[in-house]
Amino acid sequence: QKAMKLKEIIKNNNLVPIGFQTATTKLVNMKDIIYISTGSKDLDNLLGGGIETGSLTEIFGEFRTGKTQLCHTLCVMSQRPLDQGGAEGRVIYVDTEGTFRPQRLVAIAERFHMNPEEVLDNVICARAHNSDQQFELLSDAAALMCESRYALIIVDSATALYRTDYSGRAELSERQMHLAQFLRQLTRLAEEFGVAVVLTNQVVANPDGMSFSKDNTKPIGGNIIAHASTTRLKLKKGRGENR
């Protein structure tokens, strides 16, 4: 029912291309892809220019590796002009862990000499408390993007609520199925509205890994989230405060 509601919104606004298209048309459309700067030249170079619009980017790592901080930075960078590494659009932020902090946006905006009030007004935040609510927020996001220009959707984190709502091996199959449906709808929004989608993801210990490895962890979600993501970015702790 939820999927049908989202489908109806997209169909009513003529957002779905019917039938096939030539590879030439696809190539022309790819030239419209915008890369949103992360605020770091080195990271932008690593990503081939920044966060790509029209696709999903997964950012995973342990706690305190800078995942949420990078999301806050992208909230500001996406609003900048195109010639300054931005996408000139608003941001939808789905917060599943209560980590969204407006004061961070103010500090980042001041760093880039932007108006903090305008930056805050252009970020639409919603708090999700369970996986069903997290899925339903995608319908609200589609409605918002029909009314105004948005450049970025952030889900921080994409898997936290699924871990708590579906626990144990008995519910693993159902969890993966619902997670796949959520990611499929996110991919649809990214493609139809041309927005960048950034997901943060947690990691767990990898029992299959080698015990002598320094980083014996793996991202949650397995192949489901791996296949849905166009770009996967791993953050890890370095010495001191380095990431």
Measured over the CA atoms of residue 6, residue 12, residue 14 and residue 16, the dihedral's sign is positive
pLDDT in the model for residue 203: 85
Closest CA to 67 of 220, 228, 222: 220
pLDDT in the model for residue 31: 79
User: CB neighbours of 156 closer than 8 A, spacing ≥ 6?
Assistant: 67, 68, 71, 93, 94, 95, 96, 97, 99, 100, 199, 200
Any bridge partners for residue 232, and if so which? 58
pLDDT in the model for residue 188: 93
Q: Write down the pTM of the prediction.
A: 0.85
Question: Do 92 and 150 form a contact (C-beta atoms < 8 A)?
Answer: yes
Q: CA-based angle 73:198:225, to the nearest 5?
A: 150
pLDDT in the model for residue 223: 85
Query: Which residues of the chain have a pLDDT value below 70?
Result: 1-3, 6-7, 9-19, 207-215, 240-243
Tokens at 3, concatenated = 């999927």
pLDDT tens, position by position, 153-200: 999 999 999 989 988 788 888 989 999 999 999 999 999 999 999 999
pLDDT in the model for residue 26: 79
